[in-house]
Amino acid sequence: MSFSFGHPDVVARLNGAPAPEGSINARQPGAILHALQILECVARRGPGTTASEISTDLRVSRATTYRLVRLLADDEYLVRMPDLRGFTLGRRVAELAAPAAPAPHLSRAARIALAVLRDRVRAGVHLVHYSGTRIIVTDEDTDIPLTDPHRLLTDPGSTAAGRLAAAWEEAQREGRRPPTHAQQVRHGSPKRGCLALPVPDDAGHLVAALLVEAPPARLADPEELMSILLSGVSELTLLLT
């Protein structure tokens, strides 16, 4: 977990040096540096840092600050506090510091098992792992890639994999039987829907999930798909845990 904003000017300005003449605005590459400085500033000041405070701290004009915090909020790196006054860091900033390749190593046997599954179901078959609250794509189908991999990071709760994790947690908390699958089908969507099957370890914790993306019509009655997939999932469970 190592990264730095190595540019000496930036470091100097973080330490309070005045802004150079002809200060940069949000349309220039300097905006990226400013954006990182803003995150740094909110991290230093803590939850509830206001745009005025950021503007004063970084000696950036208010208009530029407003524009940059809006862009950062659009991508949820910054989140406005419930009273709309001030900001706090969004969960997404954790991605900035996440190790480049957190995906667990996949054994050859597991890769072969996935390849066999892909041949049999004729749909996009992907493997994801759960790491804390994050969902990491471990093995993506190269022939039929994920329709919206970005959403797994930005809005996991609305994906099949995220729904599966939530349902799994809830079932464990309430002592019910864990769910057999979770689905995400957008009604009438031209995009593909997604089916997620759990891969638990011996202790019953959800380790990974097998995602199958197929047209909504095929997912409307998942029994046929499930019968093919379940054997594959039990094989993967042995290979992954």
| Sites of contact with another protein (CB under 8 A) | 1, 3-5, 36, 39-40, 43-44, 46-47, 50-52, 62-63, 66, 70-71, 73-76, 79-86, 88-91, 93-94, 96-97, 133, 154-155, 157-158, 186-189
d(CA 180, CA 175): 15
CB 31, min distance to another protein, A: 14
> 65 or 138, CB closer to another protein?
65
Phi, psi of 184, deg, nearest 5: -140, 105
Assess contact for 109 and 100: CB atoms under 8 A. no
Assess contact for 76 and 103: CB atoms under 8 A. no
> 9 or 155, CB closer to another protein?
155
CB 149, min distance to another protein, A: 15
> 51 or 209, CB closer to another protein?
51
Give the count of alpha carbons within 13 A of 60, CB side only: 28
CB 131, min distance to another protein, A: 14
CB 236, min distance to another protein, A: 28
CB 41, min distance to another protein, A: 8
Residue 158 is classified by DSSP as G
> 57 or 141, CB closer to another protein?
57
The Cα-based distances of 21 to 25, 68, 191 in angstroms read: 12, 20, 50
> 97 or 143, CB closer to another protein?
97
Assess contact for 49 and 41: CB atoms under 8 A. yes
